[in-house]
Amino acid sequence: MGKALFISNAAQLITMADHTEQPAKKEAMSHLNLIENGSLLIEDGKVVEVGRDDDMRDKYKDRIQAAEHLDASGKVVTPGLVDPHTHLVHAGTRENEYAMRLQGQSYMDIMSAGGGIHATTRATQQAGHEQLYEESWERLQQFLIHGVTTVEAKSGYGLTLEHELKQLEVAHELQADHPVDIVSTFMGAHAIPMDEKDNPGPFVNRVIDEMIPVVAEKNLAEFNDVFCERGVFTPDQSKRILEAGKKYGLTPKIHADEIEPYEGSELAAEVGAISADHLLKASDKGIREMAAADVVGVLLPGTAFFLMAEFARGRHMIDAGLAVALSTDQNPGSSPTISLPFIMNLGCLKMGMTPEEVMTATTINAAHAIGRADEIGSLEPGKKGDVTIFDVPNHLTLSYKYGMNHVDTVVKDGQVLVA
């Protein structure tokens, strides 16, 4: 695993410790467990210990001497950021639709007319394996440069077994080849193919009977996601698809209540989803039910920003006891960004979250949203040596000096990658 690494004397070492068992809710979302003048020792790619610099130097004298050193004086050290919702593997871009939306056309109207998700589906179906791999690799690089060490990645631009598998296989190869970790989600139920729009039953059956069993058998995904929205999949269809996935060991996720209230949040609680995502229009009842069922609410303010929509009620959700995570929703239609730090900024300025809460939402709570809290999301003994170092004197500066990339160094599995 290479040499040990000693990261020393950070102005603020944000450990995010003590949230591994349960996602942080309410006041716990403000507990960063921050150490001033903090240091961190990594061996064999795993965190050995974190603590005050002088204590660490006393306790691990010899092991520190043998390690590579990274001086973090005057900087902020955090767990590698985790993006729990992306559509990483896809072909092409949709600037044309951006221009159309700026002229007043709506996202859903563009989709109903055969653009939107359908446009990217055509491009992704036509793309060869290599093209998809290369385009997605570039995005992963950008994630890394912006401090992200793990991303969730969904299929859903294939819409046939063959092309859904192609997307998932590319994600699988990238997981092996690229340092950023990828957690895969099957999302065959992302759109009803254009030519079946008026008769969606057979497609829903194909997702259930044809796609889910093969994806599960090939071990190509851990989660099963559905776009539950008027004009896409109804709550009933979504429920059938998510329950079918459960039978094959795929944990439910859901794109819920994005464009209008559609009882997706309530469904998330009912089926025991690990997360419900978007939630711009989630009802009070849905929020209460999700909080009670320990569903993580994954908020995607970049999408609201880019679609010029109302933002999700982040402040209200946290106060109501929902564990909240944040994500880019990286995709070519509704959120082409790869900057999770910018999303943190939107969380503060547009959803009433505090800088502490957005930090929790992009580290440990994001890890919970993808079932990885035992490995990542905090800097504690035994967790992965995934670390982001920001060249800012305190973590408030991250969202105060907005629209800039403050990442100084990224460490993945104890290896210094971006410096």
- Decide which of ligand NIG, Fe ion, none touches 263; Cβ closer than 5 to 8 Å per partner kind: none
Q: How far is the CB of 90 from ligand NIG (least distance, A)?
A: 7
333 binds ligand NIG (CB under 6 A): yes
Query: Nearer Cβ to ligand NIG, position 11 or 123?
Result: 123
Length of the chain: 419
**Is 85 part of any known ligand binding site?**
yes
Going by C-alpha positions, the residue among 99, 209, 86 that lies closest to residue 143 is 86
Whether the CB-CB separation of 7 and 389 falls below 8 Å is answered with: yes
Query: Nearer Cβ to Fe ion, position 329 or 413?
Result: 329
**Is 90 part of any known ligand binding site?**
no
CA distance from start to end of the chain:
19
52 φ/ψ angles, rounded to the nearest 5 degrees: -65, 145
**Where are any strands of DSSP class E within 249-295?**
251-256, 275-278
- Report the largest interatomic distance among the alpha carbons of the chain, rounded to a whole angstrom: 70
CA dihedral 293, 373, 240, 228 (to 10 degrees): 80
227 binds ligand NIG (CB under 6 A): yes
Label each residue of 31-100 as H, E or C.
CCCEEEEEEEEEECCEEEEEEEHHHHHHHCHHHHHCCEEEECCCCEEEECEEECCCCCCCCCCCHHHHHH
**Is 405 part of any known ligand binding site?**
no
Among 330, 334, 388, 409, binds ligand NIG (CB under 6 A): 334
257 binds Fe ion (CB under 5 A): no
83 binds Fe ion (CB under 5 A): no
Under DSSP, the state recorded for 207 is I
Find the helix or strand (DSSP H, E) in which 184 lies.
strand 181-189
Query: Nearer Cβ to ligand NIG, position 80 or 332?
Result: 332
Whether the CB-CB separation of 286 and 264 falls below 8 Å is answered with: yes
Query: Nearer Cβ to Fe ion, position 15 or 251?
Result: 251
- C-alpha to C-alpha distance for 355 and 359, rounded to whole angstroms: 6
**Where are any strands of DSSP class E within 257-309?**
275-278, 296-299
152 binds ligand NIG (CB under 6 A): no
- Decide which of ligand NIG, Fe ion, none touches 334; Cβ closer than 5 to 8 Å per partner kind: ligand NIG
**Is 395 part of any known ligand binding site?**
no
Among 23, 38, 332, 385, binds ligand NIG (CB under 6 A): 332
Q: Which stretch binds ligand NIG (CB under 6 A): 114-122, 213-221, 244-252, 290-298?
A: 114-122
Identify the bridge partners of residue 87 per DSSP, sorted by sequence position.
Answer: none
331 binds ligand NIG (CB under 6 A): yes
Among 53, 164, 270, 329, binds Fe ion (CB under 5 A): 329
Query: Nearer Cβ to ligand NIG, position 327 or 360?
Result: 327
For 381-398, the DSSP string reads TTSB--EEEESSSSTHHH
258 binds Fe ion (CB under 5 A): no
Query: Nearer Cβ to ligand NIG, position 55 or 109?
Result: 109
231 φ/ψ angles, rounded to the nearest 5 degrees: 90, -5
Among 118, 240, 255, 313, binds ligand NIG (CB under 6 A): 255
Q: List the binding residues for 4-imidazolone-5-propanoate.
A: 94, 157, 190, 258, 334
Q: List the binding residues.
A: 85, 87, 94, 157, 190, 255, 258, 329, 331, 333-334
- Binding residues for Fe ion, per CB under 5 A? 329
- Binding residues for ligand NIG, per CB under 6 A? 87, 116-117, 120, 227, 255, 258, 303, 329, 331-334
